[in-house]
């Protein structure tokens, strides 16, 4: 730990900022290669069918078509869509093309042609004969005996049920004065990243494959492409120079990535494939709609005695991350509020819906919605202020949380107290609760969350860094870390500069190319700063040691007696004895005196970040419209390496979280399995104009010894507490609780009507 920081903690401008704002940054779809072809995928209009025959002859005959691929033209290797991220997810249930289609949008053939237009035309010329099969869309129905089977599994379960039993649940309920049981359901938001899925593939004459792809896990794409195509890993190079978002979904490998490579192999020409926005919705990944049944027992004085949860995740047609999000959703229900008796069961269910995958918040969004809202309800039942009730129950210093990690600060308590202060929680009764007409009701709500940085110990994580110091003391950092657009590479540069004691501008970052950067398992699980940054800090510490050893010779001092800061090495007790880093490494006559290089592997560890979100909302009781007026988001992050980046993550997460809570939902017709709003007009995302007044507070109370400079992850946290804060505020405003995301005007009006009928 460095006492005085020069680079870490500053709002350093992004390493890729100029490139991005000038339009020079190249994304996968920007790649143009001579002779390039365009690929398209033929998709099923049926939710479940046997593919009896695919006839590509008419398509092949179309002028400008260079290749048509059907099941007979592609390797028949079973693979997992989620290449590696979690052991549990590694269920191999996909072929590039299969003899069945399992959702509307499932690909079954592909073409490469001289233009996108010809490729589209060619798709229409491919004749497919289907045998329609009964389909199932609802997860509970899918689990019933006799339901149509999506894959050859019992009860459409992707993996055996996840069961967490801690303490004695019977005893817990027996101790309770009250028991509450509720069902919470969540919608099907889609990540809707700015950059559609895209890739370009090219084989060289020596059989080496280069793939430019928009992916959170270039090394994972490399590995699975090599495996399925049957070529050595060393002959596959995956490049991702810049990304326009992924939000978790782009840690999977998609059909088009295989197909693009195969079309390039078949035609001997580079091939580009870019999803339309419609394809991103249909053939991308959504969040899992989950039905959470939450039952808790509590005492009169507000102590939780038992928590029982049933978590049923609708995974859609293929595995992707269904086991992983179910596992995280279930484990996260054991955290947050102290309780000793748990009985939690999670079910990851196949249905004939579009595939649900990894999405920022990864299973926890759903269970924390239920948990926070039920806590709010219990507080109201007991007549305790919700914040006071949470303060009474949140985990804190000394408490054991999931994975046996013992907390070393009262971070949640601090977040709650600070948020309450910022929003004026305890003075809210002094403010009007409705507009003069009485139509618009105002309410306040709170939600808390905690989320782990990285996926340890569930998977063996890996991030690596290589540093090279140049002869003028500037540095090249090679990192395998993927930057989804979050500013991750900026953070890596800051960590390297700070640890080395050189200016931020002296670090140049090379990333996004599997041939030249060291292995990284991918950008997900809020792990990049924590684990990837840890690797950089470790490599930089090694390089600093080498630098100080060299400086020690030149300064005639022991290396232990030296420090390096702002590009100058000096004797700690005699700062006048100093040498610029440049002069330490320079040699005579332009020959570098010593080549300095280092490499390190980030050690995974367990850490948690924390937040409390407060929302003030207006509910129009005539239209049912919920409007978020004000949000206070207090996050404990250990150390904000770049506060601007942390704020960006939080603000973006709030925007996405408000969307998921109120407006975003990909609607699948429960009769036909067709997606009804696969476009940006009917799928409603918040724009910046829809955003409430937002106050972001960053706390650095519990720096983690396993994170670089104490930093922990912040990527997913902002999405976890905002939803319950809003839902609780709506309940506060209108006196009735809506337990379904998204909280649409229809649901609000329906709830108000039911409330009135009850009265």
> Alpha-carbon distance 314 to 261, whole Å?
31
Is 554 an interacting residue with respect to a second copy (CB under 8 A)?
no
The CB-of-470 to a second copy minimum distance in angstroms stands at 4
Using CB under 8 A as the criterion, what x/- string covers residues 580-609 for binding a second copy?
Answer: -------xxxxxxx-x-xxx-x--------
Stretch of 2-10, 191-199, 201-209, 677-685 lying at the interface with a second copy (CB under 8 A): 201-209
> If binding is defined by CB under 8 A, does position 204 make contact with a second copy?
yes
Judged by CB under 8 A, the stretch of 19-27, 169-177, 299-307, 661-669 that binds a second copy is: 19-27
Of 141, 175, 513, 603, the one binding a second copy (CB under 8 A) is: 513
Q: How far is the CB of 77 from a second copy (least distance, A)?
A: 13
Of 106 and 542, which has the nearer Cβ to a second copy? 542
Residue 305 tokens, joined: 């005695």
Q: Which of 158, 224, 280, 646 binds a second copy (CB under 8 A)?
A: 224
Site for a second copy in 344-383 (CB under 8 A): none
Of 49, 292, 336, 521, the one binding a second copy (CB under 8 A) is 521
Name the token pair of 6. 């020069």
3, 194, 206, 681: residue in contact with a second copy (rule CB under 8 A): 206
Please, where are the H alpha helices in 383-487?
386-393, 411-423
Give the closest residue to 393 by CA, choosing from 294, 293, 298.
Answer: 298
CB of 735 to a second copy, least distance (A): 49
Determine if 694 is a binding residue for a second copy (CB under 8 A). no
Nearer to a second copy, 465 or 733 (CB): 465
Distances (CA, A) of 564 to 535, 547, 561, 627: 20, 9, 10, 52
Task: Report the distance separating Cα 713 and Cα 618, nearest Å.
Answer: 32
- Enumerate the β-bridge partners of residue 598: 467
Q: Where are the beta strands (DSSP E) in 16-58?
A: 37-43, 49-55
Q: Which residues pair with 184 in a beta bridge?
A: 292
Least separation in angstroms between residue 485's CB and a second copy is: 17
Q: How far is CA 28 from the centre of its chain?
A: 20
Q: Which of residues 21-40 bind a second copy (CB under 8 A)?
A: 22, 24
Query: Please, what is the minimum distance in Å from the beta carbon of residue 551 to a second copy?
Result: 18
516 binds a second copy (CB under 8 A): yes
Give me the least distance between CB of 90 and a second copy, in Å please: 3
Q: To the nearest whole angstrom, how small is the minimum distance from the Cβ of residue 237 to a second copy?
A: 9
Residue 532 binds a second copy (CB under 8 A): no
462 binds a second copy (CB under 8 A): yes
Token pair 């319950």 in the structure block, residue: 724
Find residue 293's DSSP bridge partners: 183, 310
Pick 93 or 647: Cβ nearer a second copy = 93
Confirm or reject binding of residue 510 to a second copy (CB under 8 A): yes
Which positions ≥6 away from 301 have C-beta within 8 Å? Answer: none
Query: Between residues 463 and 655, which has the closer beta carbon with respect to a second copy?
Result: 463
Helices (H), 383-516: 386-393, 411-423, 488-500
Query: Residue 205 interacts with a second copy (CB under 8 A)?
Result: yes
Residue 459 near a second copy by CB under 8 A: yes
344: which strand partners?
164, 309
In whole angstroms, how close is the CB of 335 to a second copy at the nearest point?
Answer: 25
The footprint of a second copy on this chain (CB under 8 A) covers a number of residues equal to 60
Per the CB < 8 A criterion, the answer to whether 614 and 419 are in contact is yes
Which phi and psi angles does 211 have, rounded to 5°?
Answer: -125, 125
| DSSP letters for 320-338 | TTHHHHHHHHHHHTTSSB-
From the list 389-397, 505-513, 571-579, 704-712, the region that binds a second copy by CB under 8 A is 505-513
Please report whether residue 87 would count as binding a second copy according to CB under 8 A.
Answer: yes
What's the rounded Cα separation, in Å, for the pair 112 and 60? Answer: 10
Q: Quick one: which of 425, 299, 447 has its CA closest to 368?
A: 447
Backbone φ and ψ of 510, nearest 5°: -115, 125
Among 215, 506, 642, 744, binds a second copy (CB under 8 A): 506
Question: Nearest distance from residue 705's CB to a second copy, in Å?
Answer: 22
Tell me how far, at minimum, the Cβ of 358 lies from a second copy, in Å: 15
Q: What's the closest the beta carbon of residue 84 comes to a second copy, in angstroms? A: 4
Interface with a second copy (CB under 8 A), residue from 232, 383, 432, 438 = 232
Note whether 494 binds a second copy by CB under 8 A: no
505: contact with a second copy by CB under 8 A = yes
Helix (H, G, I), strand (E, B) or coil at 438: coil
> At a CB cut-off of 8 Å and minimum separation 6, what does 630 contact?
423, 615, 616, 692, 693, 694, 695
Task: Please pick, from the candidates 60, 155, 235, 684, the single residue that binds a second copy as defined by CB under 8 A.
Answer: 235
Among 476, 577, 674, 695, which residue interacts with a second copy (rule: CB under 8 A)?
Answer: 476
Q: Is the peptide bond before 742 cis (omega within 30 degrees of 0)?
A: yes
488-500 vs 533-555: helix axis angle to the nearest 10?
30
Strand arrangement, sheet containing 568-571: 562-565, 568-571, 574-580
Do the strands 107-113 and 65-69 form a parallel or antiparallel pair, or are they unpaired? Answer: antiparallel
Peptide bond into 487 cis (omega under 30): no
Tokens of 337: 């509020």
Contacts of 435 (CB under 8 A, 6+ apart): 442, 618
**Shortest distance, CB of residue 348 to a second copy, whole angstroms?**
16
Binding residues for a second copy (CB under 8 A): 18-19, 22, 24, 80, 83-84, 87, 89-90, 204-206, 208, 220, 223-224, 226-227, 232-235, 459-460, 462, 464, 466, 468, 470-472, 474-476, 478, 505-508, 510, 513, 515-519, 521, 587-593, 595, 597-599, 601
């Amino acid at each position: 730990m460095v006492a005085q920081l020069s680079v870490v903690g500053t709002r350093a401008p992004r390493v890729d900022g100029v490139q991005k704002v000038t339009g020079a940054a190249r994304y996968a779809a920007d790649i143009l290669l001579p002779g390039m072809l365009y690929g398209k995928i033929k998709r099923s209009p049926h939710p479940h069918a046997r593919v009896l025959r695919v006839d590509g002859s008419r398509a092949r005959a179309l002028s400008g078509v260079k290749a048509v691929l059907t099941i007979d033209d592609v390797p028949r290797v079973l693979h997992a869509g989620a290449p590696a991220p979690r052991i549990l997810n590694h269920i191999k249930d996909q072929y590039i093309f299969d003899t069945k289609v399992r959702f509307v949008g499932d690909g079954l053939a592909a073409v490469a042609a001289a233009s996108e237009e010809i490729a589209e035309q060619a798709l229409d010329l491919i004749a497919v004969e289907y045998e329609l099969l009964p389909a199932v869309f609802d997860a509970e129905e899918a689990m019933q005996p006799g339901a149509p089977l999506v894959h050859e599994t019992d009860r459409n379960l992707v993996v055996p049920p996840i069961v967490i039993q801690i303490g004695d649940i019977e005893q817990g309920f027996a101790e309770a004065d009250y028991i509450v049981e509720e069902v919470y359901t969540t919608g099907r938001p889609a990540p809707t990243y700015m950059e559609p899925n895209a890739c370009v593939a090219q084989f060289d004459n020596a059989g080496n494959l280069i793939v430019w792809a928009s992916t959170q896990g270039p090394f994972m794409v490399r590995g699975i492409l090599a495996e399925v195509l049957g070529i050595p890993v060393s002959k596959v190079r995956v490049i991702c120079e810049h990304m326009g978002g992924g939000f978790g979904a782009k840690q999977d490998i998609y059909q088009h990535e295989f197909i693009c490579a195969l079309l390039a192999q078949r035609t001997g020409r580079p091939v580009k494939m870019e999803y339309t926005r419609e394809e991103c919705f249909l053939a991308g990944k959504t969040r899992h709609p989950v039905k959470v049944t939450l039952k808790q027992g509590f005492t009169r004085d507000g102590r939780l005695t038992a928590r029982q949860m049933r978590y049923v995740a609708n995974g859609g047609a293929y595995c992707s991350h269904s086991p992983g999000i179910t596992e995280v959703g279930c484990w996260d229900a054991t955290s947050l509020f102290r309780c000793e008796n748990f009985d939690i069961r999670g079910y990851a269910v196949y249905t004939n819906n579009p595939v649900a995958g990894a999405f920022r918040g990864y299973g926890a969004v759903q269970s924390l919605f239920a948990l926070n809202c039920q806590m709010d309800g219990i507080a109201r039942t007991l007549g305790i202020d919700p914040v006071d009730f949470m303060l009474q129950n949140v985990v804190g210093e000394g408490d054991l949380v999931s994975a046996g990690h013992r907390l070393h600060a009262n971070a949640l308590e601090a977040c709650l107290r600070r948020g309450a202060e910022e929003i004026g929680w305890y003075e809210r009764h002094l403010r009007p609760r409705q507009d003069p007409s009485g139509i618009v009701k105002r309410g306040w709500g709170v939600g808390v969350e905690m989320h782990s940085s990285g996926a340890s110990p569930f998977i063996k994580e890996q991030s690596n860094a290589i540093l090279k110091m140049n002869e003028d003391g500037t540095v090249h950092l090679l990192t395998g870390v993927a930057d989804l657009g979050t500013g991750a590479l900026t953070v890596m540069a800051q960590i390297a500069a700070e640890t080395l004691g050189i200016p931020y501008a002296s670090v140049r970052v090379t990333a996004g190319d599997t041939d030249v950067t060291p292995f990284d398992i991918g950008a997900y699980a809020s792990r990049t700063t924590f684990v990837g940054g840890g690797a950089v800090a470790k490599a930089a510490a090694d390089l600093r040691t080498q630098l100080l050893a060299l400086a020690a010779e030149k300064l005639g001092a022991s290396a232990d007696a030296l420090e390096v800061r702002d590009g100058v090495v000096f004797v700690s007790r005699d700062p006048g004895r100093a040498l610029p880093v440049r002069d330490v490494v320079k040699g005579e006559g332009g020959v570098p005196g010593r080549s300095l290089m280092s490499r390190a592997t980030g050690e995974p560890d367990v850490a948690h970040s924390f937040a409390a979100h407060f929302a003030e909302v207006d509910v129009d009781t005539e239209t049912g419209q919920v409007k978020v007026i004000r949000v206070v988001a207090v996050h404990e992050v250990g150390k904000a390496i770049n506060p601007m980046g942390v704020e960006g993550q939080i603000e973006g997460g709030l925007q996405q979280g408000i969307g998921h809570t109120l407006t975003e939902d990909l609607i699948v017709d429960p009769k036909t399995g067709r997606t009804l709003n696969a476009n940006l007009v009917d799928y409603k995302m918040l724009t910046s104009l829809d955003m409430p007044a937002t106050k972001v507070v960053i706390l650095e109370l519990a720096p983690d010894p396993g994170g670089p400079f104490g930093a922990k992850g912040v990527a997913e946290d902002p999405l976890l507490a905002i939803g319950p804060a809003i839902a609780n505020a709506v309940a506060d405003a209108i006196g009735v609780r809506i337990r379904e995301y998204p909280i649409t005007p229809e649901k609000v009006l329906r709830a108000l009507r039911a409330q009135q009928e009850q009265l």
